[in-house]
A and B are shown apart, each in its own frame.
Chain A
């Protein structure tokens, strides 16, 4: 017997929650307990009184599973709201990566030139290395990191996606 898995589509969810101890464990634990995917997850306190945090989750699954994920998130007691930004339509996604590249000579020059093309900023340099800061969609960051692999990539750190819907309305 073989175990079957279903292919899915990528969705970006914005979740507002009580900023309290254990909430992240509750959210991520729900995903692992029910066998859902997390491609990335970011969280930070967003309210003036530090009472509410916003979590951006990139997940994937067939439509019925995405609906379940939203319903399961929504029923957790500390969750205030769940918005499927992918389903809702136009939204902006951004991710920041810090990319360390080491090398000398042509590879170093090539790295700098490509960073310019990608509008990556140099935030630190030594005689043998750069750290680039790049902001953009996950695809753009992926492509930049892939190119840097050819130019002496030694380390990369990424924030995961934050996203917000276009227009004047709040979620």
Chain B
């Protein structure tokens, strides 16, 4: 127990918890903590240009490392600007601790300058939150906040600290056992459902694994266990957007991503399977399509660390509550103990190969050097150029994100950082900043759309300040492409407000911030342009001009079943009924 100021306790707690990086922005109500940071060079503070970017950078840091991201912002607008990133972390289960300054306790509730009800505003977009009114509570609360953010299903935790609590002195204590008095997430799976699950897996004729972000969150060992179980059973595997990288995309058992913009083979396999093994995935509406037509012939095993995910959307036959990695280990052990051998799934694989033969990710393109670049080609070229460099790819949200998910192959977890649940435009660039801070020697590329990028483009200053070699690869089609695509599909091509008018000259913008800027206009320039981007030290922005009206296919339209995929532009009807229009 040591007597110190609240602000010193905050910083001491961060040091004790092994925090090396804080993303933040100072302001009146956190000045005492900033002053304490001044004397603690072992914590690197990354000064962003907007608090939303601090939260996304912390997410990028967390997704690239598996460690919690830490954010420090002031009261009022500092806290409200952080709300989008906090919600993003909640939806994607990303561990994050956000420290917010608050007006002094005697001014709370008086509409004081830069006051807002931070715990009220963040109550439903955090896993948990605290308002600390007593400096003696700071040590235990901050330690507990990190415990909650990282245990069970990870998520964001907000700790709101009034300014007088930062200035007052108290005793800093570290709880003897760092845990919560009642929060006890189930980590180890029960043995009963494991035994039932393994019997189903061993007997299935048309099994398919459906993995998600829970496998990534469970750490690299969980990805290794997933690969082992898939190899033992010989079953095909698909994954959600959040789960990409847990299973190598060059493995013959890999079907590609499933869902709205998933592959034909992945969605057809889900539809025709007799057994679905969901691992750390939550049957999101982007994945299931029309619910009454979802996997009608399949029994379902669902592994999830959050009991509320089970039976939330799709009723399942066997529920395994626990950490994805531990559950996979238990399944592997049960498989081996019982001496199961992989069944002959030849007939199932022949059907899958038939679906694969549609080559659903192919796209029409011209091949001469002067041709316009198809966005899919740009992603494939980026993938080819970065093979062997183990890049970290972040994305913004929209068509470019889906094309990257479809055409960029991942072979390891924590390399694919994208906003899945909340779908936050403006996520990708600050997430790349966070990933580059966490992994300074890695090639970090933000695949962006010209519209999304502008939502947090101010972070170019942050990149310049810390000399981060982040690369931004813009697929510039001068449209909010996914909005435009939906307008083409559902609103008879009435492109209401989806044109990216008055774009900046990105090359000149790069110059203004001391970056390198490149523009790629034609297919003939594509490979050289990408190579220049990679070979140029320091930050680079690439304005890659692509076909303006390209659509992202395959696509399951709103309210349609997995079997009703649009594979080609010629399948587009251009209108939808009201029921379908009402779906997101």
Our verdict on whether A and B bind, yes or no, reads: yes
Query: In the bound complex, what is the Cα–Cα distance between A96 and B537 (angstroms)?
Result: 74
Query: In the bound complex, what is the Cα–Cα distance between A75 and B582 (angstroms)?
Result: 30
Instruction: Let me know if B124 and A18 touch, CB within 8 A.
Output: no
Query: In the bound complex, what is the Cα–Cα distance between A72 and B153 (angstroms)?
Result: 13
- Note all chain B residues with C-beta closer than 8 A to A64: 311, 315
Of A21, A33, A71, A74, the residue contacting B124 (CB under 8 A) is A33
Instruction: Let me know if A68 and B181 touch, CB within 8 A.
Output: no
Instruction: Let me know if A77 and B183 touch, CB within 8 A.
Output: yes
Q: Is B257 an interface residue (CB 8 A)?
A: no
User: B302-310, B413-421, B439-447, B511-519: which lies at the A interface?
Assistant: B302-310
Q: Is B123 an interface residue (CB 8 A)?
A: yes
A-B contact pairs, 17 of them (CB 8 A): A1-B578, A1-B579, A1-B582, A18-B182, A22-B120, A22-B129, A29-B123, A68-B311, A68-B312, A71-B310, A72-B308, A74-B307, A74-B308, A77-B127, A77-B148, A77-B182, A77-B183
Count of A-B contacts with CB under 8 A? 46
- Note all chain A residues with C-beta closer than 8 A to B120: 22, 25
* Given A71-B308, A72-B308, also A21-B182 (CB < 8 A): no
- Note all chain B residues with C-beta closer than 8 A to A71: 307-308, 310, 312
Q: Is B128 an interface residue (CB 8 A)?
A: yes
Instruction: Let me know if B311 and A67 touch, CB within 8 A.
Output: yes
Q: Is B40 an interface residue (CB 8 A)?
A: no
Query: In the bound complex, what is the Cα–Cα distance between A69 and B514 (angstroms)?
Result: 53
Q: Is B119 an interface residue (CB 8 A)?
A: yes
* Given A64-B311, A71-B310, A74-B307, also A80-B123 (CB < 8 A): no
Q: Is B343 an interface residue (CB 8 A)?
A: no
18 additional contacts, CB 8 Å, given A33-B124, A68-B312? A1-B578, A1-B579, A1-B582, A18-B181, A22-B120, A22-B123, A22-B131, A26-B123, A29-B124, A30-B124, A64-B315, A67-B311, A71-B307, A71-B308, A72-B308, A75-B307, A77-B127, A80-B182
Most chain A beta carbons < 10 A, residue from B120, B124, B310:
B124
Q: Is A79 an interface residue (CB 8 A)?
A: yes
Q: Is B180 an interface residue (CB 8 A)?
A: yes
* Given A1-B578, A1-B582, also A75-B306 (CB < 8 A): yes
* B-contacting residues, A26-62, CB 8 Å: 26, 29-30, 33
- Note all chain A residues with C-beta closer than 8 A to B119: 22
Query: In the bound complex, what is the Cα–Cα distance between A77 and B153 (angstroms)?
Result: 11
Of B153, B308, B578, B582, the residue contacting A68 (CB under 8 A) is B308
Q: Nearest Cβ in chain A — how far from B239, in angstroms?
A: 24
Taking Cβ atoms with an 8 Å cutoff, the residues of A that contact B are 1, 18, 21-22, 25-26, 29-30, 33, 64, 67-68, 71-72, 74-75, 77-80
- Note all chain B residues with C-beta closer than 8 A to A80: 182
Most chain B beta carbons < 10 A, residue from A29, A33, A67:
A67
Instruction: Let me know if A77 and B128 touch, CB within 8 A.
Output: yes
* Given A1-B578, A1-B579, also A78-B182 (CB < 8 A): yes
Closest to A30 in B: B124
Closest to B126 in A: A77
Q: Nearest Cβ in chain B — how far from A153, in angstroms?
A: 37
Q: Nearest Cβ in chain A — how far from B265, in angstroms?
A: 31
Q: Nearest Cβ in chain A — how far from B36, in angstroms?
A: 26
- Note all chain A residues with C-beta closer than 8 A to B153: 75
Closest to A33 in B: B124
- Note all chain B residues with C-beta closer than 8 A to A26: 123-124
- Note all chain B residues with C-beta closer than 8 A to A1: 578-579, 582
* A-contacting residues, B125-141, CB 8 Å: 127-129, 131
| Binary per-residue interface labels of chain B (277-315) against chain A in the complex, 1 for a CB within 8 Å, 0 otherwise | 000000000000000000000000000001110111001
Q: Nearest Cβ in chain A — how far from B559, in angstroms?
A: 12
Closest to B308 in A: A71
- Note all chain B residues with C-beta closer than 8 A to A21: 131
Instruction: Let me know if A79 and B182 touch, CB within 8 A.
Output: yes
Closest to B578 in A: A1
Closest to A79 in B: B182
Query: In the bound complex, what is the Cα–Cα distance between A79 and B315 (angstroms)?
Result: 25
- Note all chain A residues with C-beta closer than 8 A to B307: 71, 74-75
Closest to A78 in B: B182
Query: In the bound complex, what is the Cα–Cα distance between A17 and B334 (angstroms)?
Result: 38
Q: Nearest Cβ in chain B — how far from A6, in angstroms?
A: 14
- Note all chain B residues with C-beta closer than 8 A to A67: 311
Nearest 10 CB-CB pairings of A with B: A71-B308, A1-B578, A77-B128, A80-B182, A77-B183, A71-B307, A72-B308, A75-B308, A29-B124, A33-B124
Q: Nearest Cβ in chain A — how far from B579, in angstroms?
A: 6
Q: Nearest Cβ in chain A — how far from B184, in angstroms?
A: 10
Query: In the bound complex, what is the Cα–Cα distance between A68 and B180 (angstroms)?
Result: 24
Closest to A64 in B: B311
Query: In the bound complex, what is the Cα–Cα distance between A29 and B582 (angstroms)?
Result: 25
| Binary per-residue interface labels of chain B (178-200) against chain A in the complex, 1 for a CB within 8 Å, 0 otherwise | 00111100000000000000000
Q: Nearest Cβ in chain B — how far from A116, in angstroms?
A: 46
Query: In the bound complex, what is the Cα–Cα distance between A90 and B323 (angstroms)?
Result: 35
Query: In the bound complex, what is the Cα–Cα distance between A29 and B117 (angstroms)?
Result: 15
Q: Nearest Cβ in chain B — how far from A55, in angstroms?
A: 14
Query: In the bound complex, what is the Cα–Cα distance between A84 and B306 (angstroms)?
Result: 19
- Note all chain B residues with C-beta closer than 8 A to A29: 123-124
Closest to B577 in A: A1
* A-contacting residues, B362-397, CB 8 Å: none
* Given A74-B308, A75-B306, also A25-B123 (CB < 8 A): yes
- Note all chain A residues with C-beta closer than 8 A to B124: 26, 29-30, 33
